[in-house]
């Protein structure tokens, strides 16, 4: 009987030593842009936040330059404006997953006049239509 109990105990020890436990990754707090305040969008890291937008995903919480970027005004590019400029996404894979979210981009000129907008200006697009917002965000105010 002692011999059987010894073999069973040895088998259990062997099984226990053979089990590999994988440690779980440490819990991380979810990051929001901005860290405090609304509107906000989730982001992978606080260093990827630009105002209320996440640069790594390209997402902004709204299509408003005023609320998403703390700009001074929104200018809607529609009609003939779309023939002169385009909004190139910061992240080409950006997909606004709600009807309120938008993607951040920069203005590229399609004509010499550039619709009177500076190339490289910040723009927001929702993906719902070809129209987009051109944002007046003074670069000197960017932290």
User: In 10 A of CB 72, how many CB atoms?
Assistant: 12
pLDDT at residue 24, rounded to an integer? 43
Compute the average pLDDT of residues 76-95.
94
- pLDDT band, residue 21 (cuts 50/70/90): very low
101, 42 Cβ separation under 8 angstroms: no
133, 121 Cβ separation under 8 angstroms: no
pLDDT digits (tens, 9 = 90+) for 115-143: 988 999 999 999 888 999 999 865 444 43
Compute the average pLDDT of residues 70-97.
91
39, 68 Cβ separation under 8 angstroms: yes
Compute the average pLDDT of residues 93-98.
84
Residue with the bigger pLDDT between 13 and 77: it is: 77
Share of the chain above pLDDT 70, in %: 75
Name the pTM for this structure: 0.73
State the Cα–Cα distance between residues 48 and 31, nearest whole angstrom: 10
State the Cα–Cα distance between residues 59 and 104, nearest whole angstrom: 6
Give the H or E element holding residue 108: strand 102-109
The pLDDT mean for the chain works out to: 79
What residue has token string 């902004």?
60
pLDDT digits (tens, 9 = 90+) for 46-78: 999 999 999 999 999 999 999 999 887 888 999
62 CB-contact burial (10 Å; exposed 0-12 / middle 13-18 / buried 19+): buried
């Amino acid at each position: 009987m002692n011999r059987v109990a010894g073999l069973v105990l040895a088998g259990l020890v062997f099984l226990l030593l053979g089990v590999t436990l994988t440690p779980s990754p440490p819990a991380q707090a979810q990051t929001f842009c901005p860290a405090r305040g609304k509107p906000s969008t989730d982001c992978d890291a606080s260093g990827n936040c630009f105002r209320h937008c996440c640069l790594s995903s390209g997402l902004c919480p709204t299509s408003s330059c005023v609320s998403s970027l703390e700009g001074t005004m929104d200018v809607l590019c529609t009609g003939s404006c779309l023939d002169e400029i385009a909004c190139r996404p910061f992240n080409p894979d950006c997909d606004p997953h709600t009807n309120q979210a938008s993607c951040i981009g920069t203005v590229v000129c399609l004509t010499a006049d550039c619709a009177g907008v500076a190339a490289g200006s910040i723009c927001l697009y929702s993906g719902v239509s070809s129209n987009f917002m051109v944002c007046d965000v003074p670069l000197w105010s960017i932290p």
